[in-house]
Structure 1
Amino acid sequence: MAKGKYRSDIDGLRAVAVIAVLVHHINTTLLPGGFVGVDIFFVISGFLITSQVFSEVKLGAFSLKGFYQRRINRIVPALVTVLLATVIVGIFILSPVDLIRLNVSALLSLLGVSNVYIWMKYGNYFAADAHEAPLLHTWSLGIEEQFYLVWPLFIVLLYRFAPRYVLPILGIGVVAAVGVSQYATGVFATAAYYLLPTRFFELMLGGLLAVYLNKPRNIGKLTAHGVAVAGFLLIGFSLFGLDADSTFPGINALIPCLGAALLILAGSGEMRSRLLTSRPMVFIGLISYSLYLWHWPLIAYLSYLEIPIDLPVGVMLIASSIILAWLSWRYVEVPFRRDGATWHFSRVFTRRFAFPALSLAALAVLSLHFNGFPQRFSPEVSVLEAMTLQKPSEIRKGCHVSNALYSTEPNDACRLGVKKPELDGIMIGDSFANHFTGMVDLLAKPNNLSIMDYTMDSCPPIVGYTIDMSAVYAAHCAKRNERVFSLIERNHYRYVVLAAIWPRDAIAHDMVEASIKRAVENSGEVIVILRNQHIDKAASCPIRHLMFGTDHDCSVAQSALAPYWADIRVEFPQVHFIDPNQVICPEGVCSPIINGQLLYLDDSHLNEVGSRFIGHTLLDRGYSLLHDPVTAPSTGVKFDATAHL
């Protein structure tokens, strides 16, 4: 804000945002939609930045150097402090691969592109492995820093060429940006969460409000009170009505953003919310930036060390976060911002941005060159971690595609089994079908089969099944399934392999049965690969056991399959079932690591090593893609592929 226009209620709104995020990260059940605190921050940031920039542009006093100098002084000192502390702790407790990721993300956080890196490396923000990334939360800083690169220039050009139409153009822009976000969220859900184009409207909404309030507006107390109540209700609904399963951002993100904008609007007159202007809220608001920076590394490291956040730990975590935030605000944020205002831009840029960036770059390069300093742990840690990097989706890239590429045609080069001109069959399904490709590749060879894999994320081969899918994903999956089943009907493949994370709910019974029937009636033989066991922390538990010497049991009891499989087996006795859990779950106890082989990529998906290990083990027991053995060669025990049906 311009000097002399400090608004304590905005600091109070910052407090609402950071408290929401903090509570949500500690316990999602307490505040399922607490992640919208970040969206509130975006609106506030867009409002404050645009207020300052637009006022200076109107006065002809705007300087791009001055703007970026203020941004560096405001953002970088506290960020570098937290990055340094996080990296130092990481050296002592993170595995080699995780240390490399931390050091690379530290550099990219400072450069303002960590959101892109986190999207590519971790994917879903709510995924289990992402919760152990100490700098996961810096994705939002990336959004803001990228916004700062384009927004001031946009305001300058807009005011220069259309000074009378700034407000309506911004209004139209916000509506268009919301539309873009809503559409992209349905098509590229994970990318939409992390990237600027789908978040742009949130900051832009704050900018629109800043331009609107640049001229004095007479807002009566009664109107202000009503607007404030509406703002609180919208934010309250978002905090408790949204959760990790909600489509986000898009329209759902607009709800808390409008709430924040209404509260800022309500406080622009004489009436200010007593809650937002109370001393505790203003205090939390003042330290909110540092509090946001510090709280997540603490949570992530507790999770990494498998320390549960119960009530005592949660209280200590909150207290530690607030203390660190106050120290950071008092001794880093305030003095560095004050001193930096008197420096030349070149000095600020060199000392407070370029030098830390070069230092972090050197650290990242050293980590990459020395493979994360594996000598800190036993050699087996690096061996197991190397297995987790074998990702079937990357190995079979082009054969397995994202939901957005639903219209891609089958690629004849995508072959499993033997390499020969003749095609024997097709394998269809979702990401679970993709992670079974290594297994199928091995099991197809004894029968001299060549199988084309044609798989897609989030699309089980079940015609009509759309549970837990967004409208766009459901539409894409429906079109994809119609395509693949039409291929089956047209080509009458000798063999059709169906694999997926088969649903457990009873509502899927008829749809699964109808889909298998459609495949059976239009092919020579159908092979169904059953879903493998879900194991919490399947990929990390064995590695942490080696790193920290914990006695935590990584295995779990085998879950029962959906009851409908028994009916389907009776109705289609000619269908051949392959159960990977025969390897993963000997005697009903499922382990993510067998004979030194780490099978999993995450809690559910197999890595390529695990997929092929299961394939080799089944081959050793006498299985192939088409046949079960009567007895296992080594033990004489009968193995029934449908024993758990």
Structure 2
Amino acid sequence: MAQGKYRSDIDGLRAVAVIAVLLHHLNTNLLPGGFVGVDIFFVISGFLITSQVFSEVKRNTFSLKGFYQRRINRIVPALVTVLVATAIVGAFILSPVDLIRLNVSTLLSLLGVSNVYIWVKYGNYFAADASEAPLLHTWSLGIEEQFYLLWPLFIVVLYRLAPRYVLPILALGMVAAVGASEYATGVFATAAYYLLPTRFFELMLGGVLAIYLHQPRVIAKLTAHGLALAGLLLIGFSLFALNANSTFPGVNALVPCLGAALLILAGSGDTRSRLLTSRPMVFIGLISYSLYLWHWPLIAYLSYLEIPIDLPVGAMLIAVSITLAWLSWRYVEVPFRRSGATWDFSRVFFRRFALPALGLATLAVLSVQFNGFAQRFSPDVSRLEAMTLQKPSEIRKGCHVTNALYKTEPDDACRLGAEKEQLDGIMIGDSFANHFTGMVDLLAKPDNLSIMDYTMDSCPPIIGYTVDMSATYAEHCAKRNERAFNLIEQNHYRYVVLAAIWPREAIAKDIVEASIKRAVEHSDQVIVILRNQHIEKAASCPIRHLMFDTDHSCTVSRSGAAPYWADIKVKFPQVHFIDPNQVICTAGVCSPMIKGHLLYLDDSHLNEVGSRFIGRTLLDRGYSLLHDPVADPSNAVTKLDASVHR
């Protein structure tokens, strides 16, 4: 592409990307795979910026200062505008912990590392609490800015060392990057979504295409139409075939990226898509950066205030987003870019980057120092929030591991229950087993039991269970379970504790039964901890009640247990069941708050306070890890029968 040649079809492609993201965020059912709009942006960015950089490198006019000056002028003014506006609104409505996270995020967003912070603090992009993070979407800006710290230098060095082989070397590197992304996505799913190494190939694809098109290429009209059609089909397929459960990025991300690349290639000649070059699409494309920045904080704050996004609200949100986007494009993006081009680098850097960064850093420090300005709300808000910060996975770090660490051997220091040298048993299972460790620690003490916990994310102790697992996760879980059950067979533990988010489907009966049988045959006693009740907004609802004095109920009706448990109880009468819902639920109604204790960490997982509260309550009622109250007809097994037939 010739330097400075405007491509209206690329603005149209930007419009496709931002519309996909916007509709997906409004309602995932509209476009299940709409999140790939970000990947389309990556390809466009890689193409446009590499076109400019490579042209300058070839003319020997490339300057790092000039490059980063353009990046600051292009990215920072609109970003700072949105960050400040978001922080101002957050000061009025966010809880203390959420305000701290927001104000730290504002600084890290400007510094280009918010993707790392969001990965650590929120984890899964599609998790319930992530939907209320006002700056969640800035993770993609972090990817871009980190990429552009490396990419220009790489192009310069490669061109100087092997000018004739730049394209083949980059093409081979891109293939390797796709392979690395596919592998890492299977092993480190959450990290792969947010971090640069697994996204590198997406921007790189645009860069390789830019270098390929640096030499004029003749593309026949029919060929251009064919390429455009193929590109649209690939993007359309991704928008509807991919969803939150799809492994991503990896090869799945390559599909929309190739679609975007084909559309850019198709428009590199004289033939341009009428759809992409239409005035409405070009307009949306021009304001797409600001539209991307503005739309998500609006959605996140509506979600935070529990305002449903129905059709009227959604239409109004789109209108407000476009209006704000146009205003910031017209009065911030364009004028700041023009004026910044006449300044020297130091002036641009200090006025447009360093000073805003200092201001946002001050805000972040003050937020931490004053505990999120907790005095804005009742002291009970901070008390409950403190409970949600007690995460069993962090407390039992090393005893509970991620899927990638499936080869981790049991640690003899990972003990629950009685403090003694002799080990009495082992506890295995997934993250639900991990969140029950506080409860098990208390319930094991009356019987003087020492139980070692050996748990792993997303790996229930069910041999052969692979539902909703990627191929790599399934393989790792299978090996982990085989190791755990081999330990049970080799050591013949007196007690084996099995806990998980047990599947509810009746079809899982055979493999659940087979797994329990294997544990029963090689131990003296098996204890099964049933899954606790899922409650939407369990961790946030009680807190928002205090903050906003709402009357929305946080309780839900109790769900029935999996239908196979009654049969397993008959077949294995020696198995002891522990049901945490005996504490969480009363008369068929389940609450995340019991006697001033907030039990949950998110919609399903318990926090450490909740886990131990359930354990203490069961102890007070006469339960232990091995025994139910002798004269209590409403023990776990009896209640299990009732819930199965409910």
User: TM-score per shorter chain, which class?
Assistant: over 0.9
Write out per-residue CA displacement over residues 458-516 of structure 1, whole angstroms, 9 at most, x where no aligned residue: 00000111111000000000000000000000000010000000001122100000000
> Residue 270 of structure 2 aligns with which residue?
270
Separation (CA, whole Å) in 1 of partners of 2:483 and 2:218? 60
| Structure 2 counterpart SS, 1:498 | strand
2:630 is paired with a residue whose SS is coil
Residues 138-187 of structure 1 show CA distances to partners (whole Å, capped at 9, x for unaligned) of 00000000001000000000100010001101110110000000000000
Question: How far apart, in 2, do the equivalents of 1:613 and 1:640 lie?
Answer: 17
Per-residue deviation at 1:4? 3.7
CA distance in 1, matches of 2:347, 2:546: 47
TM-score by length of 2: 0.99
Structure 1 unaligned spans of 5+: none
TM-score by length of 1: 0.99
Could you tell me how far apart the structure 2 residues matched to 1:230 and 1:155 are?
29
Give the 3-state SS of the residue equivalent to 2:526 in structure 1: strand
Contact 1:115 1:194 in 2 (8 A): yes
Identity within the alignment, %: 85
What aligned pairs does 1:365-380 form with structure 2 within 5 A after superposition? 365-380=365-380
Instruction: Name the counterpart of 1:467.
Output: 467
The DSSP-based 3-state class of the residue aligned with 1:465 is: coil
- Structure 2 counterpart of 1:37: 37
Q: Deviations over 1:21-69 (max 9, x none)?
A: 0000001101111000000000000000100000000000000000000
Distance in 2 (CA, whole Å) between partners of 1:336 and 1:549 is 43
Q: Which runs of 5+ in 2 are unaligned?
A: 642-646
Residue 552 (structure 1) aligns with: 552
Q: Which deviations, in whole Å up to 9, do the C-alpha atoms of 1:559-603 show, x marking residues without a partner?
A: 001100000000000000000000001111000000000000000
Aligned length: 641
- Name the residue aligned to 1:639: 635
Asked whether the 8 Å contact 1:579–1:642 carries over to 2, the reply is: no
1:153 is matched by which residue type in structure 2?
Answer: L
Match of 2:54 in 1: 54
CA distance in 2, matches of 1:488, 1:380: 45
Equivalent residues in 2 for 1:223-622 (5 A)? 223-622=223-622
Q: What letter matches 1:207 in structure 2?
A: G
Task: Report the AA paired with residue 452 of structure 1.
Answer: M
Query: What CA distance in whole angstroms lies between the structure 1 residues aligned with 2:444 and 2:142?
Result: 46
Work out the CA distance in 2 between the residues paired with 1:531 and 1:3: 61
**What amino acid is the match of 1:576?**
H
Match of 2:644 in 1: none
The answer as to 2:207 corresponding to 1:207 is: yes
The alpha carbon displacement at 1:630 in A equals 2.7
Find the residue that maps to 2:527 and give its secondary structure: strand
SS at match of 2:277: coil
Contact 1:429/1:461 (CA < 8 Å) preserved in 2? Answer: yes
Mapped contact 2:528–2:576 kept (Cα < 8 A): yes
Q: What residue identity is the alignment partner of 1:326?
A: W
| 1:638 CA drift (Å) | 3.8
- Matched letter for residue 360 of structure 1: L
- CA deviation digits over 1:116-157, x for unaligned, max 9? 000000000000000000000000000000001000000000
Deviation of 1:110 after TM superposition, in Å, equals 0.3
Q: Residue 80 of structure 1 corresponds to which residue in structure 2?
A: 80
CA contact (8 A) 1:600 1:607 kept: yes
CA contact (8 A) 1:434 1:455 kept: yes
Q: Compute the RMSD of aligned alpha carbons.
A: 0.8
**Distance in structure 1 (CA, Å) of the matches to 2:474 and 2:505:** 17
Q: Give the whole-Å Cα distance in 2 for the aligned partners of 1:49 and 1:63.
A: 13
Distance (whole Å) between structure 2 residues aligned to residue 514 and residue 638 of structure 1:
28
* Structure 1 residue 2 displacement after superposition: 6.1
Given that 1:432 and 1:605 are in contact with CA atoms closer than 8 Å, whether structure 2 keeps it comes out as: yes
Residue 377 of structure 1 aligns with an amino acid whose one-letter code is F
Distance 1:175 1:3, change over 3 A: closer
Is the CA contact (8 Å cut-off) linking 2:290 and 2:325 kept in structure 1?
A: yes
- Three-state SS of the structure 2 residue aligned to 1:643 is helix
Amino acid paired to 2:403: N
Q: Is the 8 A contact 1:621 1:629 kept in 2?
A: yes
Q: What displacement does 1:639 show?
A: 3.1
In structure 1, C-alpha distance between the alignment counterparts of 2:634 and 2:222, rounded to whole Å: 79
